[in-house]
A = this chain, B = another copy of it.
Amino acid sequence: MSVTAAQGFEASGVAVGLKSTGKPDVAVVVNRGPLKVGAAVFTSNRAKANPIIWSQQAVQDGVVEAIVLNSGGANCFTGSFGFQTTHQTAEKAAALLGVSAGDILICSTGLIGTGDGVFRAKVLEGVEQGIAALATDGGEAASLAIMTTDSKPKRSIVTTDGWTIGGMAKGAGMLAPGLATMLVVITTDAMLDAAAADEHLRHATRVSFDRLDSDGCMSTNDQVTLMASGASGITPTPQAFREALTAVCIDLSEQLQSDAEGASHDIRIVVENAASEQDAVEVGRSVARNNLFKAAIFGNDPNWGRVLAAIGTTDAEFDPYDVDVWMNGVRVCTQGGPDRPREDVDLTPRATRLVIDLKTGTAGAIILTNDLTHDYVHENSAYSS
């Protein structure tokens, strides 16, 4: 059910030929209220696609009536024609729904540079078909329509004390801090005002999507949107809502990680005893972005030297000669020297756990990444995306 698990929402997914495969490629999610609260976070890339530029403006008043998403074209670096396409998409959805275009968010994903007249015509057709197909059980169809190279749809639902949060995500690689080629829509029927929605969403993404770094590459089109209908009539405590929202975001992040293009290991980098959370994140990311370490994990090689070489490039507070490193439960390095033999580490399972003990404080962070594989290279070199 994903985005229609919560009361007050309708959704759809339709096929209009943006994907050469003929699979669904336009999704619409509409909030029927009574509240029309919306919040969103966006890619931090300065090279922003047209739908990002539009949505950043549209969400500012905290009111979101609907969101239109398409796969099969990023509408990025497509000039003023591309921006007009986004504008027309919002206008058309607004007219059909009887609302203001400024309350419609737009998301696109696919190849950068795709956004010509054919693309525009198909997207506008998708808006018409998508709004005609809206249904209270349309969440599944919507989650299929936003897929690109994803091997499966990603959905998550938390229901508690009479209110629900449901979400869908697309992304399979190109995931990086600041969010990357990731489209996420989360809905809730909890009572929530716009300021709280924004604050909770920023917290939840900071500790979930923002700590997923599959290949260090940041996209131009990422957007995570939260919409609240208030249809349950229930106002959760801020803490309860934040915990549930964070759980949904972490669940979707882990689904994105495990579907990363070409990966054979899901690597959980746990940084412990850091002087600050920021230090822990910096150290974790330096390892997540180190191609040598990632290739070693692909080869089932517990190469802790590459871990220390990676963290040595950071400014975090620690002594490189007093760091401990565990791989899958085996301490392979202690205090700047080898500890237990490499042969003791079994890296054959897909789930890989790297623990880095910095010994300088009490903060920590978890970064999720993947290994660097032949299939990753193949999937990112054999066709344009």
Which A residues are within 8 Å of any B CB, using their own CB?
44-48, 74, 76-79, 82, 111-113, 174, 178, 215-220, 289-292, 295-299, 301, 303-306, 308-314, 320-321, 333, 335-338, 342, 372-374, 376-378, 380-384
User: Could you tell me the dominant secondary structure of chain A's interface residues?
Assistant: loop
Cβ distance A261 to chain B, nearest Cβ, rounded Å: 10
Q: Give me 17 A-to-B residue pairs in the complex whose CB atoms sit less than 8 angstroms apart, sorted by A's number.
A: A48-B312, A77-B333, A77-B336, A77-B338, A79-B336, A112-B305, A112-B306, A112-B309, A113-B337, A215-B291, A216-B289, A216-B290, A217-B291, A291-B376, A297-B381, A299-B381, A299-B382
Closest to A219 in B: B309
Contact B308 A381 (CB under 8 A): no
Contact A305 B77 (CB under 8 A): yes
Number of copies: 2
Contact B338 A113 (CB under 8 A): yes
Residues of chain B within 8 A (CB-CB) of A291 are 215-217, 291, 372, 376, 380
Contact B320 A47 (CB under 8 A): yes
Cβ distance A30 to chain B, nearest Cβ, rounded Å: 31
Contact B377 A217 (CB under 8 A): no
> CA separation between A178 and B314, bound complex, in Å?
13
> Which of B217, B296, B342, B378 is within 8 Å of A292, CB to CB?
B217
Closest to A338 in B: B113
Cβ distance A381 to chain B, nearest Cβ, rounded Å: 3
Closest to A176 in B: B313
Residues of chain B within 8 A (CB-CB) of A299 are 380-383
Contact A45 B77 (CB under 8 A): no
Q: Given known contacts A112-B308, A296-B380, A377-B374, is B79 in contact with A320 (CB within 8 Å)?
A: no
> CA separation between A48 and B374, bound complex, in Å?
31
Q: Given known contacts A47-B320, A305-B111, A338-B77, is B377 in contact with A312 (CB within 8 Å)?
A: no
Cβ distance A311 to chain B, nearest Cβ, rounded Å: 7
> CA separation between A301 and B382, bound complex, in Å?
8
Contact B377 A295 (CB under 8 A): yes
Closest to A342 in B: B384
Residues of chain B within 8 A (CB-CB) of A292 are 174, 215, 217, 380
> CA separation between A382 and B310, bound complex, in Å?
20
> CA separation between A313 and B314, bound complex, in Å?
18
Contact B338 A377 (CB under 8 A): no
Q: Given known contacts A112-B305, A337-B77, is B377 in contact with A310 (CB within 8 Å)?
A: no
> CA separation between A290 and B176, bound complex, in Å?
11
| Inter-chain pairs besides A112-B306, A374-B377, 19 sampled, C-beta below 8 Å | A44-B313, A45-B313, A77-B305, A77-B336, A79-B335, A79-B337, A112-B304, A112-B309, A113-B333, A218-B313, A219-B309, A220-B309, A291-B380, A292-B380, A295-B381, A298-B381, A342-B384, A372-B377, A374-B378
> CA separation between A74 and B382, bound complex, in Å?
37
> CA separation between A254 and B214, bound complex, in Å?
30
Residues of chain B within 8 A (CB-CB) of A78 are 337-338
